[in-house]
């Protein structure tokens, strides 16, 4: 399958979700069961398709409104995160490139992924702050049912005044642990995308530009298939 075909397929999947998604059974704020459709929003997003970044426009997503509290929220298809243009598949790719490839730098990663070097830097800082590595170890053990030896990849310390060696090491640990956690649960890689997406789900105004606080969210929202 070529990039054009893969991109067309993704667009069709997102459009099909827009056309066929069911109205939620209750309000996510107050629990009311009387809901109605509240129009739509038009999104755009950059996604990773066969290793290449592709820009998708005119993504329609439905809005739902509560009859009691009057609040509304957006229903999003699988793979489309809230308040983020570059989707987490792109973030995972860019962060991995910078951390684990010795010849890369912020500018080179940004050029390859069609974003600014400062955007790549923000991705790395954000990844380092997603979760405490010890908490991710705990989630891995809970998901696997037994102790797991996690092999961490070598990180190349290209420290700057902002991206210190501590930030880089933490980001690399979190990235590796999310991959192991995703595999233990049965999610598709990259773990950064699949685990964060499961944690965020359809929560209201959760932004992946700030820490989604996975250690707290996971206890309530992360579900093991069949569990």
211 vs 25, 27, 94, 127, 218, CA distance in Å? 28, 25, 18, 8, 13
pLDDT of residue 53: 94
pLDDT of residue 110: 96
- Going residue by residue through the chain (227 aa), what tens digit of pLDDT does each one get? 788 899 999 999 999 999 999 999 999 889 999 999 999 999 999 999 988 999 999 999 999 999 999 999 999 998 898 888 999 999 999 999 999 999 999 999 999 999 999 999 999 998 998 888 888 888 888 888 888 888 888 888 876 777 889 999 999 999 999 999 999 989 999 999 998 888 877 665 555 555 555 545 445 444 444 33
- Lookup result for tokens 């992360």: 222
Residue 28 near residue 68 (C-beta atoms within 8 A): no
Beta-bridge partners for 66: 35
Q: What is the pTM of this model?
A: 0.86
């Amino acid at each position: 399958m070529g990039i054009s075909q893969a991109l067309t397929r993704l667009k069709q999947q997102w459009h099909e979700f827009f056309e066929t998604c069911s109205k939620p059974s209750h309000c996510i704020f107050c629990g009311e069961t009387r809901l109605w459709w509240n129009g739509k929003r038009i999104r755009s997003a950059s996604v990773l398709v066969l290793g290449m970044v592709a820009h998708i426009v005119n993504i329609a997503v439905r809005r739902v409104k509560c009859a009691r509290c009057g609040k509304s929220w957006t229903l999003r298809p699988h793979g489309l995160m809230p308040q983020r243009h570059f989707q987490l598949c792109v973030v995972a790719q860019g962060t991995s490139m910078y951390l684990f490839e010795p010849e890369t730098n912020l500018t080179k990663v940004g050029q390859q992924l069609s974003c600014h070097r400062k955007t790549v830097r923000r991705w790395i800082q954000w990844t380092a702050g997603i979760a405490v590595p010890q908490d991710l170890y705990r989630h891995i053990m809970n998901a696997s049912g037994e102790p797991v030896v996690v092999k961490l990849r070598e990180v190349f310390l290209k420290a700057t005044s902002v991206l210190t060696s501590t930030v880089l090491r933490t980001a690399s640990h979190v990235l590796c642990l999310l991959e192991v956690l995703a595999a233990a649960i049965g999610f598709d890689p990259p773990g950064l995308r699949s685990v964060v997406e499961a944690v965020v789900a359809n929560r209201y105004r959760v932004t992946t530009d700030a820490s989604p606080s996975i250690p707290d969210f996971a206890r309530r929202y992360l579900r093991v298939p069949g569990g």
